């Protein structure tokens, strides 16, 4: 499942966050690259231990924890602290797959990367190129979202960021381990949850069919979730 989640940040919040990030010092983006990705990557990144990074991570994490669509779709167990990158003219990230395990340098904590996400912080009209392209069974899909919108997609996919030819693209990116590792199971749970929520809004939460769907949802989560 590839899911666009709008308004994780408002356009104003995204613009304010981008402005604070641009004032910070940036380093070569390959500091978080795996061996196969390093040769394909040309961009810049905020250092993981910078004060500006920690403040921005808190803002994004708070927004994610308050977003019901994200929580329902990802069922997050652990989220690698969000990171931030920028692509200027001539910068790109070629086709690659994300590392299966990410290790946080500061704590040594490890997570399995079930899902990847990009939170766009620059309006699409402000730069040319810089699209996120994801390869899947249905072919290549291209995304260039409004500032404040996020794309959630399986970490198992091949994906790339096309070369920026005008302007600059600033984004937040992250990985997460889900409580439900299987992509198909997680997608079914998301569809079931959305259906139950829609029926509850129409019939009320105590409707017999709503209660049965809610019971089924939670029992499936119990069956499939790992702690």
pLDDT (0 to 100) of residue 179? 98
DSSP, residue by residue, 64-130:
HHT-HHHHHHH-EEEEPPPEEEEE-TT-EEEEE---SEEE-TTT--EEE--EEEEEE-S-GGGEES-
Tens place of pLDDT for every residue, the chain, 227 residues?
Answer: 999 999 999 999 999 999 999 999 999 977 655 555 556 889 999 998 899 999 999 999 999 999 999 999 999 999 999 999 999 999 999 999 999 999 988 788 899 999 999 999 999 999 999 999 999 888 899 999 999 999 999 999 999 999 999 999 999 999 999 999 999 999 999 999 999 999 999 999 999 999 999 999 999 999 999 97
Task: Report residue 58: phi and psi, to 5°.
Answer: -65, -40
Residues 6+ away with beta carbon under 8 Å from 4 = 143, 145, 149, 150, 151, 152
pLDDT attached to residue 35: 54
- Please name each of the domains of the chain with its CATH number: 3-178 (2.60.120.620), 183-224 (4.10.860)
**pLDDT the model gives residue 32:** 59
Q: What is the pLDDT of residue 105?
A: 80
Q: What is the pLDDT of residue 38?
A: 56
């Amino acid at each position: 499942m590839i899911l666009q989640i709008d308004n994780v940040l408002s356009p104003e919040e995204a613009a304010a966050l981008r402005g604070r990030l641009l004032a910070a010092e940036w380093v070569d983006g390959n500091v978080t690259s795996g061996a196969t990705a390093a040769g394909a990557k040309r961009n810049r990144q905020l250092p993981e231990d910078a004060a500006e990074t920690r403040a921005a991570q808190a803002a994004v994490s708070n927004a994610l924890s308050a977003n019901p669509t994200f929580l329902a779709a990802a069922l997050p167990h652990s989220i690698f602290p969000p990171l931030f990158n920028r692509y200027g003219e001539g910068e790109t990230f070629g086709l690659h797959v994300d590392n299966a395990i990410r290790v946080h340098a500061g704590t040594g904590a490890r997570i399995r990367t079930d899902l990847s996400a990009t939170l766009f912080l620059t309006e699409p009209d402000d730069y040319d190129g810089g699209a996120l392209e994801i390869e899947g069974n249905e072919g290549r899909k291209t995304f260039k979202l409004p500032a404040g919108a996020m794309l959630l997609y399986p970490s198992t996919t091949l994906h790339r960021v096309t070369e920026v030819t005008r302007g600059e693209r600033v984004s937040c990116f992250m990985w997460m381990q889900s409580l439900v590792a299987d992509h198909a199971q997680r997608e079914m749970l998301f569809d079931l949850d959305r259906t139950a929520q829609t029926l509850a809004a129409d019939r009320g939460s105590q409707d017999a069919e709503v209660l049965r769907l809610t019971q089924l949802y939670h029992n499936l989560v119990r069956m499939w979730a790992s702690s």
